[in-house]
Amino acid sequence: MSRRIISGVVALAVVGTASALVAQPASITIVNPGGPYLEATLEAWGKTFTEKTNIKVKGDSPQSLPKIQQMVGAKNVSWDVVEVPPVFTMRHCGTLFEKLTPGLVDAARVNAGFGNECGVPDAGYANIMLYNKTKFAKGGPQNWADFFDVKKFPGKRGLWDGAEGVNLEIALLADGVAPENLYPLDLDRAFRKLSELKPHIVFWRTGAQSTQMMESGEVDMIMAWSSRAYPALKNGAPFEPVWNQHIIYNNVLAIPMGAPNKAASEAYIRHALEDKQQARITELYPVTPALIGAAPKLDEAGMKVFAGTPERAKTAIRLNLKWVADNSEVIQKRWIEWLNS
Burial track 327-339 (b if 16+ CB lie within 10 A, e otherwise)? beeebeebbeebe
Q: What is the pLDDT of residues 179-211, one digit of tens each?
A: 999 999 999 999 999 999 999 999 999 889 999
pLDDT at position 12 over 80: no
Q: Give pLDDT, residue 140.
A: 96
What are the start-end ranges of the E strands in 9-119? 9-13, 20-23, 27-31, 56-60, 81-84
- Model confidence at 5, in pLDDT bands (50, 70, 90)? very low
pLDDT at position 222 over 90: yes
Q: Give pLDDT, residue 117.
A: 96
Alpha-carbon distance of 198 to 1, in angstroms, equals 52
pLDDT at position 233 over 90: yes
pLDDT at position 17 over 50: no
pLDDT at position 2 over 90: no
Q: How much of the chain exceeds pLDDT 70, in percent?
A: 93
pLDDT at position 312 over 90: no
Q: Give pLDDT, residue 335.
A: 96
Q: Give pLDDT, residue 307.
A: 86
Least confident range from 117-121, 197-201, 290-294: namely 290-294
- Model confidence at 135, in pLDDT bands (50, 70, 90)? very high
Q: What domains sit in the chain, N to C, each tagged with a CATH number?
A: 2-121+252-289 (3.40.190.10), 125-249+300-339 (3.40.190.10)
Please, what sign has the CA dihedral across residues 107, 108, 109, 115?
positive
What are the start-end ranges of the E strands in the chain? 2-6, 9-13, 20-23, 27-31, 56-60, 81-84, 120-132, 157-160, 201-204, 221-225, 239-254, 288-289, 317-318
- Model confidence at 14, in pLDDT bands (50, 70, 90)? very low
Identity of the residue numbered 76 = N
**For residues 164 and 87, is the Cβ–Cβ distance under 8 A?**
yes
pLDDT at position 23 over 80: no
Q: With the CA atoms of 241, 243, 245 and 247 taken in that order, what torsion angle do they form, in degrees rounded to the nearest 10? A: 80
Q: Give pLDDT, residue 185.
A: 97
Q: How many CB atoms lie within 10 A of CB 119?
A: 27
